[in-house]
Amino acid sequence: MGEHVIKLPDVGEGVAEAELVEWHVKVGDLVREDTVLAAVMTDKATVEIPSPVDGEILWLGAEIGDTVAIGSPIVRLKVAGEGNVKNTSPGESGADGIPAGASHGDRLPPAQNAAPSSSGLSRGSAGSPEPAASHPRRSADPRDKPKDDGVKKDRAIPSLSGAPRAEGEKPLASPAVRLRAKEAGIDLRQVPGSGPAGRISHEDIDAFLARGPQVARAGLARKDGVEDIKVVGLRRKIAEKMALAKSRIPHITYVEEIDVTALEELRTTLNREKRADRPKLTLLPFLMRAMVKAIGEQPNLNALFDDDAGIIHRHEGVHIGIAAQTPNGLVVPVVKHAEARDLWDSAAEVNRLADAAKAGTASREELSGSTITITSLGAMGGVATTPVINYPEVAIVGVNKMMVRPVWDGTQFIPRKMMNLSSSFDHRVIDGWDAAVFVQRIKALLETPALIFVE
């Protein structure tokens, strides 16, 4: 019998580290070759780590949410052959600094203020782990609670504390008191009792009723539980990106309503007459073509702002990010070179990228490189929004929901299909006037959609 250490492999894309987002195994599990052990995330791409050998899991080298350097040990297995770890005595360190005694589910101890170690593990700004000791111990963690011994040590006696009883705890009261509480719609679990062992009396009912509107009635018991959810993986990356954008970019938001009645008529006609091999057109391809034409007149909108260097990187190619909600969270697949795509090509590419994003198979290249972004909540788009710019871009165009509204044509009110665009701009780079001109140009193109096709 021997031991085999699995290191975090090079997942490609030139990255030096990855975040552990999921364990598929636990200590003691028997695994076969190619069994998926863990999932790690680089930027917005998730990569599964398979086992190269059969064996039993002895040790897991990281916690969910840890950042692990490429080449760092993450799993230790007991294998039938010699393995790839030299024999070590108890107390000595094995390969890559993994303690020989770490074979019973121990993990590397997180150090809050230690200097970086060769293990490559880190906890964001909390620092890197301590060098592995011969008897690793996990640091104190609020999640590590003593096992319940059957005694409710934290349950207060109502007669002393006045606190409501825990769910499932039967209150003590006479039949007359219970009948009165039932007729008054009072949940006796919410009534502090002043008698022996918290027994509830009529006086306690009177005092409870005197407390007024804050009284909890039967069926409306208060809930005080708090669930702690660790922010990891894609959600953490979204949080970091949003915080960066809002802290560094002074946003200006411009909202304009657009009459899309003619556009909807054209879209319906094109979908009815389209070839069978062409995708169904939505609003997005028309908006993309309108943005490309407007950017041709205002190229500063198609740019990235390096605020550290004080340089605006203005791009000739228009690479439009399409913010998409997926089961795992918000991602932004990118339609590259939108300036070279017609309506049908744009629609096909949007559909392809949306499918890949929802399936979690979009590559890093497909999720990066945008120069301007569209965000849309579809039918849930609301009347107006304040979209957050996809840093370091300088503009984002938000699509709100379409509604039929009465519009005065000079002689009468007529029903028109109206939609708002809510667009945000980096005010360091784009002045309010320029933002308005850009949106007004898009408005003109969408309200007279034939202009979209005029070169």
The pLDDT, as a whole number, for residue 225 is 84
Average pLDDT over residues 328-351: 95
Q: What percent of the chain has pLDDT over 70?
A: 78
The DSSP string of 289-305 is: HHHHHHHHH-GGGSEEE
The pLDDT, as a whole number, for residue 455 is 76
Question: 3-53, pLDDT tens digit by residue?
Answer: 999 999 987 767 788 889 889 999 999 999 999 999 898 765 778 899 999
Q: Against a cut of 0.75, is the pTM above it?
A: no
C-alpha 333/C-alpha 349 separation (Å) is 10
Quick one: pLDDT band at residue 360, thresholds 50, 70, 90? confident
> Higher-confidence residue: 275 or 143?
275
In angstroms, the Cα distances linking 156 to 46, 153, 197, 323 are 47, 8, 11, 50
The pLDDT, as a whole number, for residue 16 is 84
Question: 220-257, pLDDT tens digit by residue?
Answer: 677 788 888 888 888 888 899 999 999 999 999 999 99
With CA atoms as reference, report the closest residue to 420 among 260, 251, 262. Answer: 260
Average pLDDT over residues 88-103: 50
How many Cβ atoms from other residues are within 10 Å of residue 44's Cβ?
Answer: 24
The pLDDT, as a whole number, for residue 164 is 56
How many C-alpha atoms does 196 have within 13 Å on its Cβ side?
A: 1
Quick one: pLDDT band at residue 190, thresholds 50, 70, 90? confident
Residue 436 has pLDDT above 80, yes or no: yes
Residue with tokens 């996809």: 390
Quick one: pLDDT band at residue 163, thresholds 50, 70, 90? low
Instruction: Give the contacts of 275 (CB within 8 A, at least 6 positions apart).
Output: none
**Annotated catalytic residue, options 24, 251, 315, 427:** 427
Residue 321 has pLDDT above 60, yes or no: yes
Residue 167 has pLDDT above 80, yes or no: no
Our answer to whether residue 427 is catalytic in this structure is: yes
Under 8 Å between Cβ of 98 and 115? no
Q: Which of 119-128, 204-213, 331-340 has the highest mean pLDDT?
A: 331-340
Quick one: pLDDT band at residue 197, thresholds 50, 70, 90? confident
- Mean pLDDT is lowest, of 41-50, 139-148, 177-186, for 139-148
Our answer to whether residue 104 is catalytic in this structure is: no
The pLDDT, as a whole number, for residue 143 is 42
Average pLDDT over residues 362-372: 93
- Which residues in 272-304 are b (16+ Cβ under 10 Å) and which e? eeeeeeebebebbbbbbbbbbbbbeeeebbbbb
**Annotated catalytic residue, options 206, 342, 355, 431:** 431
Residue 452 has pLDDT above 90, yes or no: yes
Query: What is the set of domains in the chain, with CATH numbers?
Result: 2-126 (2.40.50.100), 158-214 (4.10.320.10), 233-453 (3.30.559.10)
